[in-house]
Amino acid sequence: MTNKEKQLAKMGKKQQRLEAGLISEHFPEVSSIVINMKNYQKGINPIPIIRAFNFWPTSYAYFNIECLSRDCVDGGFDLDQVITTMIRCHKELGEGELVCDGNNLSSDHSSIHYKVTIQYNKKS
């Protein structure tokens, strides 16, 4: 893959994010979303990397977390489905595992263990 192709793939993701719209538009009942994850990488580093992401009503409703693998271009962890389902069921806690969805099989693909916490606006 050339540098130009890599750049195009990255731009595609940015575009997707812009088109996703804001959380307040899609999920007006949500006041905050926190994603905590442990990132496991094969081989290189046996110690998981802890990452945390905060989303507010003014954030984009785009829950695709970047993969940390060096060679990974179009991969990532898509929590969109997880979070949308949680909001629909009004669930506050969700937990699970995901594997990078990149299709570059030569790279050292990573996996995550995620914990999602969603807070809802109190109905008055």
Nearest distance from C-beta of residue 44 to Zn ion, angstroms: 13
Nearest distance from C-beta of residue 73 to Zn ion, angstroms: 8
- Contact status: 73 vs Zn ion (CB under 5 A): no
Measured CA to CA in angstroms, residue 13 lies from 16, 53, 65, 74, 83 at distances of 5, 17, 11, 8, 18
Please choose, out of 23-31, 37-45, 78-86, 93-101, the segment that lies near Zn ion by the rule CB under 5 A.
93-101
- Contact status: 68 vs Zn ion (CB under 5 A): no
Nearest distance from C-beta of residue 68 to Zn ion, angstroms: 8
39, 75, 82, 114: which one contacts Zn ion (CB under 5 A)?
75
- Gap between the Cα atoms of 113 and 89, Å rounded: 21
Which stretches of the chain bind Zn ion, using CB under 5 A? Answer: 67, 69, 72, 75, 100, 102, 109
